[in-house]
Homo-oligomer: A and B are copies of this chain.
Amino acid sequence: MKEIINCAAYSQGRRIADVKLDHVHETLRETNQFVWIGLHEPSEEILTRVQKEFGLHDLAVEDAHTAHQRSKVEMYGNSVFIVIRTAQINLERHIDFGETHFFVGANFIVTVRHGSSVSYADVRLRCENSPVLLGKGQGFALYAVMDFIVDKYFPVVHELEQSLEKLEDKIFNEKPSRETTEQIYQLKRELLEVKRAISPLVDICNRLMRFDIGCISEETRPYFRDVYDNVVRINEIMDNTRELLNTALEANFSLISISQNDVSKKFAGWAAIIAIPTMVAGFYGMNFRFMPEVEWEYGFYAVIVLTIVACSLLYYFFRKSGWL
């Protein structure tokens, strides 16, 4: 996969030219234009060239090179450096995490994708199709990509909710098992990981829509409020799911105990039933010289029949009182 996905200049919301990375500084001299560059896991060399063209801060470029950052927004003079963790459901229905870094300046925006994530070429295309909006500047491009990233979280959250529902089914309709308990734990693990990825976004959106950041035009700010709303919603769903999951763990535990109760009661019930023939046999096994009906031809059968009747009555009684 190539490192430089896209590098184009925009004026009044329209793509006017594809630019070579080394000629970007010439384009930047024009007013009413901005450059939008899309990189994918760029080499150090490319990043250094980008840094030189846009005059980026050392620390930001260093950060952009290493993945596994925390989502954050940092201001360096007139430009902003933003890190956002991405998440999406892959084909095996697992969650893939990635990272996208943004450099936004007075007349440029650079996006740097790390890890598994969908290309932003579609977002760019959609932006180019509504030049009025893209005409609001690179701030709108930033919004478009962030919105796309946050939208990708919804299926992730939905997947987690569905996993919880499947677990509920197992907990309340199946026998308690080691697997269910382990799955609850693993779901909690995933939940915490997603939560850790999404929660700093609340603060980031807040700063983008509140603070006076030169390179983001004022008319694009309501758009970040839109992203903010989505982030807060995702956060709330995550918190709810987490609390439900904790309750599910406890409910699961209660049901394990109830199931233990059932085993004990069943065992006790059957033990009581079996005690009858044991006792009868024991008594008729005693070596007394005179015992009733011992000499009778059908004594043995009579005793067996009586025993079975007694057992059946006890069984019926236990059944009714809920012990069996």
In the bound complex, residues from chain B placing their C-beta under 8 Å from that of A248 are 185
Instruction: Among B57, B181, B192, B278, point to the contact of A243 (Cβ < 8 A).
Output: B192
Q: CB-nearest residue of chain B relative to A233?
A: B70
Contact A260 B270 (CB under 8 A): no
Can you list, as one digit per residue, whether each of A263-306 has a CB less than 8 Å from chain B (1) or not (0)? 11111101110110111011111111111111111111001100
Contact A247 B284 (CB under 8 A): no
Contact A256 B247 (CB under 8 A): no
Can you list, as one digit per residue, whether each of A163-182 has a CB less than 8 Å from chain B (1) or not (0)? 00000100010011110011
Q: Assign chain A's interface to a size class.
A: 35 or more
- Residue A222 is within 8 A (CB to CB) of chain B in the complex: yes
In the bound complex, residues from chain B placing their C-beta under 8 Å from that of A297 are 289-290
* Cα separation A4 to B168 with both chains bound (whole Å): 42
The segment out of A36-44, A102-110, A224-232 that lies at the interface is A224-232
Q: CB-nearest residue of chain B relative to A253?
A: B254
* Cα separation A289 to B264 with both chains bound (whole Å): 40
* Cα separation A57 to B226 with both chains bound (whole Å): 12
Contact A229 B70 (CB under 8 A): yes
Contact A264 B271 (CB under 8 A): no
In the bound complex, residues from chain B placing their C-beta under 8 Å from that of A265 are 263
* Cα separation A256 to B240 with both chains bound (whole Å): 27
Within 8 A of B (CB), among A201-248: 222-223, 225-226, 229, 232-233, 236, 240, 243-244, 246-248
Question: What are 22 inter-chain pairs, A to B, with CB distance below 8 A?
Answer: A59-B222, A59-B223, A70-B233, A74-B225, A172-B178, A172-B185, A176-B261, A181-B251, A181-B258, A185-B247, A188-B244, A196-B236, A254-B256, A256-B257, A257-B260, A261-B263, A277-B283, A281-B282, A288-B299, A289-B294, A289-B297, A292-B300
Residues of A whose CB lies within 8 Å of any CB of B are: 57, 59, 63, 69-70, 72, 74, 76, 168, 172, 175-178, 181-182, 184-185, 188-189, 192-193, 196, 222-223, 225-226, 229, 232-233, 236, 240, 243-244, 246-261, 263-268, 270-272, 274-275, 277-279, 281-300, 303-304, 322
